[in-house]
Amino acid sequence: MTTHPRPLSPHLQVYKPQITSLLSILHRLTGLFLSLGSVIIVAWLFSLAFAPETYGIFVESAHSLLGKAFLLAWAFCFFYHLSNGIRHLFWDMGRGFEMKNVRRSGWVVISTAIFLTAGIGCNLMYYTKASVLSQEQTAQPTIADVTYSVGTYSVTVTY
Amino acid sequence: MTVSSKKTFRSPLKASRGLGSAKDGTHHWVVQRLSAIALIPLSIWFVYALLTAIMADANAARQFVAQPVNAILLFLLVEAMLYHGALGVQVVVEDYIHKPCCKITALVVVKLGTVVLMAAAALAIGKIALG
Ligand code: HEM
């Protein structure tokens, strides 16, 4: 039996990047990143309930530079996926399909996501500032008690 | 030609062929949207809770989860999120992994993993909320 090779779709590289296609793949990528995040959220809850001795890992990572970068990336993925998800739901109701509106809603979604992520960024920076400030206040040169605080809650870590 | 009393949009050919190569109806699509709609308020509430109450230390977080309303919302959030995420990752696997054995293995890992995570989250929230 002769087998015919299945037709290939044109290679992705021949397409000019456009806001429509870029945002489409970004919805998928952010969905995947959020799924990774959901595993971490469950691990965090599990640690809170059953393994309090591991809870420090979460607090410390949330304050490390890498942890903050991760949180910021998560925030962007979340805000993007949320607003683009709402855009999807409008399409599912049959609305907003004209090319002009597809592009326009795309720009609305990406600017909303960047704006809200910047808000979280400020919040995380405030986090760092608060810890640096209290570090200066504790006049101990070698061992420093660093107090992190968010709102009315605070935690003290001894280095 | 007889007119059937039951209104149907399907041709007899379509009816006899069933669902075709899709092998599935609209159920996956519908539950993906329903879980997305549920996640809009729940996830916004969760981000707000993270920023205001949870991220400080273990005691603050535990106190927060122990409140009955928070426990219920957190439970709904986590289960909806895991369900929606699993439905989504399933589609990604189906789109990109073509070798049948790899595909089936990946799908089973996603589904069983999701069930394990759902149970672990429910147990953890339950333990904190019930003391
Ligand atoms: C917070 C946790 C969330 C996770 C882990 C998550 C995960 C995912 C994943 C993995 C996909 C599959 C992407 C694809 O098939 O390309 C997806 C699709 C989708 N998500 Fe989410 N998502 C979350 C929140 C939301 C929210 C809040 C909305 C609200 C509007 C939403 C709306 C959608 C929609 C409409 C789709 C289908 C898109 C399509 O047809 O391609 N998601 N999600």
| Spatial CA neighbour of A40 closest among A20, A9, A61, A24 | A61
Query: Considering CB atoms only, which of A62, A78, A148 is closest to B47?
Result: A78
Which positions in chain B touch A45 (Cβ < 8 Å)? 65, 74, 78, 120-121, 124-125
A35 touching chain B per CB within 8 A: yes
Which positions in chain A touch B65 (Cβ < 8 Å)? 45, 48
For the record, the structure tokens of B31 come out as 């539950």
pLDDT for A138 equals 47
Q: Domains (ranges, CATH) in chain B? A: 24-130 (1.20.1300.10)
pLDDT tens digits, A44-75? 999 999 999 999 899 889 889 999 999 999 99
pLDDT for A33 equals 98
Compute, in angstroms, the gap from residue A31 CA to the centroid of ligand 1.
Answer: 5
Listed as ranges, residues in chain A with pLDDT below 70 are 1, 127-159
pLDDT for A1 equals 62
pLDDT for B101 equals 97
User: Model's pTM, two decimal places?
Assistant: 0.83
pLDDT for A151 equals 57
Residue-range domain boundaries for chain A: 19-127
pLDDT for A140 equals 43
CATH, domain range A19-127 = 1.20.1300.10
pLDDT for A88 equals 98
Tell me how far apart the alpha carbons of residues B71 and B73 are, in angstroms, rounded to a whole number.
6
pLDDT tens digits, B95-123? 999 999 999 999 999 999 999 999 999 99
Rama region for B127: left / alpha / beta (φ>0; ψ in -120 to 50; rest): alpha
pLDDT tens digits, B38-88? 999 999 999 999 988 777 778 889 999 999 999 999 999 999 999 999 999
Tell me how far apart the alpha carbons of residues A146 and A38 are, in angstroms, rounded to a whole number.
29
